Amino acid sequence: MNRPILTLLFSVGFAMHSVAATPNPTGHWAFQPVQNPAPPAVQNPDWCQTSLDPFILARLESSHVTPAPPADRRALIRRASFDLTGLPPSASEIDAFVADTTPDAWKTVVDRLLDSPHYGEHWGRHWLDVVRYADTAGETADYPVPVAWRYRNYVIDAFNTDKPYDQFLREQIAGDILARQGPRERYAEQVTATGYLAISRRFGFDSENYHHLTIQDTIDTVGQSVLGLTLGCARCHAHKYDPVSMPEYYGLYGIFESTRYAFPGSEQKQRHRAMVPLLPPEESTPQWQAFEMQVASLTQQLERQKKSAPSAVLRSLDELDGDFEMQAPAAGGSKGVLVPPWVYEGPIAVTHDAQSPFKNLHPLGKVGASVASGTNGYRIGQSWHRRRHHDSGRLLHVNLDVRIGTHEPAATGIHRFWIGNRNSGPAVEILLSSDSASIRTGEQLEVVRSFGTNTWHNLQLTLDLQAGTVSGRFGTPDDITAFPPRPLAPAASAGVDFFGIDAQANGNTVLPSIAFDNLGIQESPLAPVTTQQPAVAPSTEPTDPTAIHAQLESLLADGPFAMVYGVSEGTPGDARIQVRGEPDRPGAEVPRGFLAALGGGPLPKETEGSGRLELAHWLTTPTNPLTARVMVNRIWQYHFGQGLVKTPNDFGTRGQPPTHPELLDHLATAFMRSGWSIKAMHRLILTSATYRQQSRHSATPTPPTADRFTDECPVDPSPNTAATRATAPLPVSVKAPSVAAGVPPAVEGGVPPPGYLPRSSPVINVVSHTEPSPDLVSPFTRRRLAAEEVRDAILRVSGTLDATPGQGHPFPSPTRWGYTQHGPYAATYDHTRRSVYLMTQRIKRHPFLALFDGADPNASTAERRTSTVPTQALFFLNDPFVHAQAETFAQRVLATTPAEPLQIAAAYRLALGRNPTPAEQRDAASFLAEYRAELELAGKDNPLQGAHAAFARVLFGSNEFLTVD
């Protein structure tokens, strides 16, 4: 989509329109400030273990329902292990917990699980669901994004290190800006976080042509993931239900339109670009230059041998000209399409015809931009980050090649190239008429030289910001006119951050045609203009073309340094409303900003960049009524199967109200006071009596002190079962979450802080209730394992799980990409690492993850569905993965002991973490005997292992293996 240019951008000043009336914050609960309510009085305070329990108990008591009895220790450790790490506990972990008589036994388990690196893999996956993570872009050819994994691992690491949630969000929204603020050692991490925005879905066969849809996708996901709001409705009309106006929607839109997204490639443009270096620019720029030289050298060697070189488009973020190269004309078309960070209007074409012959800036190039002769004005420009001031202490070197068209007496119009400040105007202007070039700085105007038409000329400027001067050269390689330093215009004192090429429409004045190419701004000196390829030092590199080709391919695939699929600052500007959501129907321009109902407003006038940094702060300010509530609700939901708000991505008026509004606020307050610590929230929840209830069982519940699995166990390979009967009710120490500085104090004076445990009120009997009541959070909700847990648990118990973190995937080299909608990218890459490290594609879903209700990689998944379909059963019966793991499992069991009863016990302990009952022993023994006999009858090899593998499949497919009580 064409980026509507800003009326005021090229002149001085930056208007702040008043926003059209925003609906007043409604009385809707979610927009009210977070309170810190006092825990309600309860009749049975002894039941309560942490500060959250009274809130649950009070509701149960008023509904005349008794809480479910406490779960036994086996159920509890299995529940906590899956909830926190997504993996089953080992038999020895279970035995240790059952045998632990210390008061801190439960806390020890919780701490151990939270300290496990598998915790981040499991909880990172929850976040990846919410932000619809994928390893491909999602446009019609589904281009792979080989570096997306760095963001995935950033998320996992953030959970493992308990990164404060507010910081986690700020980094994902504005990590590239924060990275420049330091410290240096966190640069790469913070830049990587912006993968959150970059993984926005791409559309169409030329996805930059549908960038407005990608921005919509970003806004939808930010709204749902952080705020629990569906903002998308306001794209086309004032939000009917929630206080989001159209101007506010486009206020957010402007922030993301001012942001540059890494480009993954698409059918039309089959190479990625604008990937974000993990190094700051002062380190990356020289490495880019060395890299480009090396690429050029190898390419030339191949060309000299008349061999084709791999496609060499891999462009630096700083390389302005690279954009022309990537916006080349579409197949069958005559013009390319310019995309952000360019802002432009008017009849500008990107064409092969506008290719400059000069090689000093870019040895390889195919296209440039041009404007035909005529009376129409045009403007093109972009911001340049960071803004350079006089105290930046460096020289800026500017390169531009131009060609003015045929001299016609009627063509008296003037083109202008300028560099200066986005708000206060040009520091220096180069004016190009049909026969001469002039330089203007403020009031000073001087002709540099005259020139002939239809000839490419090179302009080089050197801005000395410290001295406040500009000097330069203009001409052709054998005819250069230099001009001495002269003072910059006063606007330069505001800092240099913008450049543009434009011409005013002025009645009937005809503009000569213009072509321009090789635009560059850099801090290192420019090479003199030349039509020769830059001389490359004679190398010791291979001369065999196959070897050169291979070297070039790997260079282009790897780049000069590690990069991420992230975002960077684009050209800041306000967006125009799109009437009925149609980008080709622009309406009024609206200032960038954040929702007034959530404490936002227009961006401060002095804002330098896109506004993402300000947005990040708006989202995470403790007075924002939604951010903390939404996240504690998610944490609650992932532990209990249902959120306090049952629509975790919709806290708006169309969503469900909370079942326990006061508890939600209590948790949100505790969360912010703990310094937004997610692990503190886990501790608060897991140590509660609410969490430790039994799941739905028959009316006569098993007494919590009985361990019915071990009591009648005939054999036990474990050395420490003697202790397993000692399952006492769990003593738990109640601790208030640590309080962090910077969070406002409790709203009501004299109210006990979260974590305080009230002890009062008499005990009265209430009616027993065994039906599941998810709204009452009693009993605990049984659940089936999620897709990843199914696969990981099978790998784990079979002993084949590779517990090391995954990295990238073996994608084909980018130099070979040619995916189209006719032949889209499609692959699965197998490994035995955890499932969070599986390559996930957008168009073609991973077959296993799709079968077991994995996350939708195209839209925020707030809750996993649990479908029960026969094709899942076929997987357990016949899938090669299950059969292979079952064989390994059988080998593992057979290796433990030659005695069959012990083998059966070992299988139970490995798969289910418990010993079999005598009846189960008998059943298993007769199964093995019968199965083995059948195999022998059929003349199969190794019937013993075959029978044990079959028994393993029975265990893997059993409900006990696949559900968590």
- Which residues, numbered 766-785, are part of the site for another protein (CB under 8 A)? 770, 782-784
What is the layout of strands, in order, in the sheet containing 343-345? Answer: 343-345, 378-388, 496-503, 415-421, 425-432, 436-441, 444-450
Residue 823 binds another protein (CB under 8 A): yes
- CB distance 369 to 401 below 8 Å: no
Distance between CA 801 and CA 606 in Å, rounded? Answer: 53
Rounded distance, CA 292 to CA 522, Å? 15
**Binding to another protein in span 451-510, by CB under 8 A:** none
**Interaction of residue 866 with another protein, rule CB under 8 A:** yes
- Decide: is 440 part of the binding site for another protein (CB under 8 A): no
Q: Which of 935, 945, 948, 964 binds another protein (CB under 8 A)?
A: 935
First CA to last CA distance, the chain:
52
Q: How far is the CB of 595 from another protein (least distance, A)?
A: 18
CA gap 932, 634 in Å, rounded: 48
Query: Hey, what are 818's tokens?
Result: 């040619």
Check if the beta carbon of residue 408 is closer than 8 Å to that of residue 416. no
**Does 706 engage in binding with another protein (CB under 8 A)?**
no
Which x/- pattern over 567-606 shows residues binding another protein (rule: CB under 8 A)?
----------------------------------------
Give me the amino acid identity at 316: S
Q: Which is nearer to another protein, 30 or 613 (CB)?
A: 30
Which of the residues 196 through 235 are near another protein (CB under 8 A)?
203-205, 213, 224, 230
> Which residue among 546, 760, 765, 868 contacts another protein (CB under 8 A)?
868
Question: If we measure between CA atoms, which residue out of 424, 408, 425 comes closest to residue 416?
Answer: 425
Q: What distance in Å separates the CA atoms of residue 482 and residue 93, rounded to the nearest whole number?
A: 79
CB of 862 to another protein, least distance (A): 8
- State which residue, 300 or 963, has the beta carbon closest to another protein: 963
Residues in 783-802 that interact with another protein by CB under 8 A: 783-784
- CA pair distance 465, 190, nearest whole angstrom: 30
Judged by beta carbon, residue 276 or residue 851, the one nearer another protein is 851
Binders of another protein among residues 330 to 349 (CB under 8 A) are 332-333
The tokens for 615 are: 């947005």
- Least spacing, CB of residue 950 vs another protein, in Å: 5
Site for another protein in 826-865 (CB under 8 A): 826, 843-845, 847, 850, 853, 856, 858-859, 865
Distance between CA 416 and CA 616 in Å, rounded? 37
d(CA 232, CA 127): 21
Tell me the closest approach of the beta carbon of residue 889 to another protein, in angstroms. Answer: 14
List, in sequence order, the alpha helices (H) in 599-748.
612-620, 627-640, 661-673, 678-686, 708-711
Q: Which is nearer to another protein, 754 or 913 (CB)?
A: 913
Cα 399-400-401 angle, rounded to 5 deg: 135
Our finding on whether 940 is near another protein (CB under 8 A) is: yes
Binding another protein (rule: CB under 8 A), the pick from 49, 356, 951, 964 is 951
Residue 401 binds to another protein (criterion: CB under 8 A): no
Among residues 93, 111, 716, 934, which is the contact residue for another protein, using CB under 8 A? Answer: 934
470 secondary structure, DSSP code: E
**Which of 550, 869, 895, 899 contacts another protein by CB under 8 A?**
869
Q: Does 244 bind another protein (CB under 8 A)?
A: no
In angstroms, give the least distance from the CB of 615 to another protein. Answer: 23
Interacting span for another protein (CB under 8 A) from 18-26, 73-81, 612-620, 866-874: 866-874
Residue 915 touches another protein, criterion: CB under 8 A: no
Q: Using CB under 8 A, which of the segments 457-465, 794-802, 808-816, 925-933 binds another protein?
A: 925-933
Nearest to 341 by CA among 362, 318, 361: 318
According to CB under 8 A, which residues from 679 to 698 bind another protein?
A: 695-698
Under DSSP, is residue 18 helix (H, G, I), strand (E, B) or coil?
coil
Instruction: Report whether 712 contacts 732 (CB < 8 A).
Output: no
Per rule CB under 8 A, is residue 813 in the interface with another protein?
no
Structure tokens, 494: 């505001």
If the CB atoms of residues 15 and 877 are measured against another protein, the closer one turns out to be 877
**Which residue's entry shows tokens 């790998």?**
795
The residue from 726, 877, 895, 899 that contacts another protein (CB under 8 A) is 877
Q: How far is CA 205 from CA 142, 208, 245, 260, 719, in A?
A: 9, 9, 32, 19, 63
Q: Beta partners for 136? A: 144
* 100: contact with another protein by CB under 8 A: no
Q: Which of 167, 100, 170, 157 is nearest to 128 (CA)?
A: 157
Query: Per rule CB under 8 A, is residue 376 in the interface with another protein?
Result: no
Contact status, residue 231 vs residue 615, Cβ threshold 8 Å = no
Region of 297-305, 340-348, 648-656, 832-840 interacting with another protein (CB under 8 A) = 648-656
Based on the shown chain and the rule CB under 8 A, indicate whether residue 920 belongs to the binding site for another protein: yes
3-state secondary structure of 890: helix
Rounded-to-integer distance, Cα 882 and Cα 46, Å: 47
Q: Whose Cβ is closer to another protein: residue 764's or residue 938's?
A: 938
3 state SS of 469:
strand
Report the nearest approach of another protein to the CB of residue 57 (Å).
Answer: 22
Q: Does 960 bind another protein (CB under 8 A)?
A: yes
Q: Which of residues 22-51 bind another protein (CB under 8 A)?
A: none
Contact 460, 397 (CB under 8 A): yes
Q: If binding is defined by CB under 8 A, does position 649 make contact with another protein?
A: yes
Shortest distance, CB of residue 629 to another protein, whole angstroms? 17
* Least spacing, CB of residue 3 vs another protein, in Å: 18
Note the Cα 925 to chain centre separation in Å: 51
Q: Which is nearer to another protein, 602 or 658 (CB)?
A: 658
Return the amino acid letter for 211. Answer: H
878 binds another protein (CB under 8 A): yes
Please tell me the count of residues contacting another protein according to CB under 8 A.
81
883 interacts with another protein by CB under 8 A: yes
Structure tokens at 224: 């749902």
